[in-house]
Amino acid sequence: MAAEELIDARQMSGFKPFYQFQSPTRVIAGYGLIEGLGFEFAKEGATRVLVVTDEVIHATALIDKVRAGVEDGGLEVVGIYDQVPPDSDSSVVKGAAQAAHEHGADSILAVGGGSVMDTAKLANVIFRHGGEPRDWEGYYGLPRANDGLGRPEELAPFACVPTTCGTGSEVSFAAVIKDSAEHVKFQVGDFPLYPRLAVLDPESTRTLPPAIVAATGMDAMTHAIEGIVSSEWSPHGDACALQALRMLRDNLQLAVEHPEDDAARGNMLIAANLAIQPTHTGAIGIAHSLSHPCGAHYNVPHGVANAINLPWVIEYNAAAGEDIAAKYRDVNELLGLEVGGDGAAVGHALADHVRETVRTLGLPGRLSEVGVPESGIPLLVEGAIGDGCTLVNPVEPSEEDFAELYRKAL
């Protein structure tokens, strides 16, 4: 049989005809790592460091510890750019790139959540290559040697200290940024965007409010479940995502209820880091397609939007075919949920479990509770259809499917 005949666009099991998995970021996890930041970042070629963060984090003792840790390694903190809002946009990216130039930085250290890390990633692109943030929209579009076919040109040394436990941006090759004028979130992804270093130290989430632990933890859960069920799933991605789900199962509630539990917070950082790994092969799904427009139009925090949308997507996908349901059975088995019955039953069991988790964590369960009006659905549907995550969902939703999913989540 010819290779082309073996290639099924939605092969949910067996030997995949092709996938490529790369996870090049050096991850260090443990206690006391902030103190050794400079020692570690120097190994990546950094000497003059611009710290990118937000005002809330800047006001905490963490930034002082970061500065001390960087300087202890003989590096210099040449500037701190702290103007990243919770839902960053293109103008902020340009501001951070400008700060890197003005301070004569040769490297960038992101200390923050997804918004900070994604801003710093794209700022690094502008810092190195210039242009406007949206000039770089899309995947694999960064400058390459040899007429665009060769190795992409490297960016400045880039490291992340995540201060939330959800996005996994510290090891991903993508950035999601809002274009406020156009009310869209656009994505930029390419190999040089993989951070060179990710530092997972529970010290960095010590002052994280429990509500943010809950919301970002649900983002991580969404990455893991969508990664396993995506048409772009891979055994490598599954291995990471299933372990992420075990760690979320054992630590999410604990970290929310006991913020002083360093081990639980540390394990949440690792869970989020593992949960994003399926995206290295492009595996994600339409909970994200539904959630991105909620953020772009109504400022719904990403993790909250995913927590609300995920259960409806699970039920929608699981009922669409036994090959898809089989992937959800793996998840249910790990979580101790019902694995028997048809796809609808399996999906319903998992969806109910997710809804119960969201409720127990104290997060909103409805889009109407977070400012999304019914009249906004057509606009949201338009965004969801155009979202890159839609292409890799195991089921291709119609416009009406998306509208129905939003109505259910409302």
Rank residues 219 and 315 by Cβ distance to Fe ion and give the closer one.
Answer: 219
* Count of residues that bind Fe ion according to CB under 5 A: 1
CA distance linking residue 311 with residue 364, whole number of Å:
13
Stretch that binds Fe ion, among 151-159, 197-205, 212-220, 258-266 (CB under 5 A): 212-220
| Binding characters for Fe ion, 44-73, by CB under 5 A (x = yes) | ------------------------------
CA distance linking residue 252 with residue 307, whole number of Å:
13
Rank residues 219 and 232 by Cβ distance to Fe ion and give the closer one.
Answer: 219
CA distance linking residue 406 with residue 367, whole number of Å:
8
- Residue 129: HSE in the Cβ half-sphere, 13 Å Cα cutoff: 21
User: Phi and psi dihedrals of 244, rounded to 5?
Assistant: -60, -45
- Dihedral, 243, 384, 318, 10 alpha carbons, nearest 10: -80
| Binding characters for Fe ion, 134-173, by CB under 5 A (x = yes) | ----------------------------------------
CB of 110 to Fe ion, least distance (A): 17
Stretch that binds Fe ion, among 20-28, 213-221, 353-361, 400-408 (CB under 5 A): 213-221
Stretch that binds Fe ion, among 135-143, 214-222, 226-234, 245-253 (CB under 5 A): 214-222
CA distance linking residue 73 with residue 35, whole number of Å:
9
Stretch that binds Fe ion, among 98-106, 200-208, 216-224, 245-253 (CB under 5 A): 216-224
Beta strands in 146-277 (DSSP E): 158-162, 174-179, 184-189, 197-200
CB of 169 to Fe ion, least distance (A): 9
Stretch that binds Fe ion, among 38-46, 218-226, 247-255, 341-349 (CB under 5 A): 218-226
Please say whether the beta carbons of 243 and 274 come within 8 A.
Answer: yes
Per DSSP, the three-state class of 186 is strand
CA distance linking residue 215 with residue 252, whole number of Å:
10
311's tokens: 């259960």
CA distance linking residue 298 with residue 371, whole number of Å:
7
Please say whether the beta carbons of 315 and 346 come within 8 A.
Answer: no
Rank residues 54 and 219 by Cβ distance to Fe ion and give the closer one.
Answer: 219
Rank residues 157 and 217 by Cβ distance to Fe ion and give the closer one.
Answer: 217
Stretch that binds Fe ion, among 89-97, 150-158, 219-227, 388-396 (CB under 5 A): 219-227
Instruction: Output the residue with the shortest Cβ distance to Fe ion.
Output: 219
Rank residues 49 and 229 by Cβ distance to Fe ion and give the closer one.
Answer: 229
Query: Residue 53: what residue type?
Result: T
> Looking at the DSSP assignment, which residues form a beta bridge with residue 187?
176
CB of 297 to Fe ion, least distance (A): 17
Rank residues 106 and 219 by Cβ distance to Fe ion and give the closer one.
Answer: 219
Rank residues 107 and 216 by Cβ distance to Fe ion and give the closer one.
Answer: 216
List the one residue from 87, 219, 226, 232 that touches Fe ion (CB under 5 A): 219
Rank residues 201 and 219 by Cβ distance to Fe ion and give the closer one.
Answer: 219
Per DSSP, the three-state class of 409 is helix
CB of 243 to Fe ion, least distance (A): 18
CB of 264 to Fe ion, least distance (A): 21
Per DSSP, the three-state class of 332 is helix
Neighbour count for residue 57 (Cβ, 10 Å): 22
Closest CA to 168 of 49, 289, 271, 263: 271
Q: Does 82 bind Fe ion (CB under 5 A)?
A: no
Residues near Fe ion, by CB under 5 A: 219
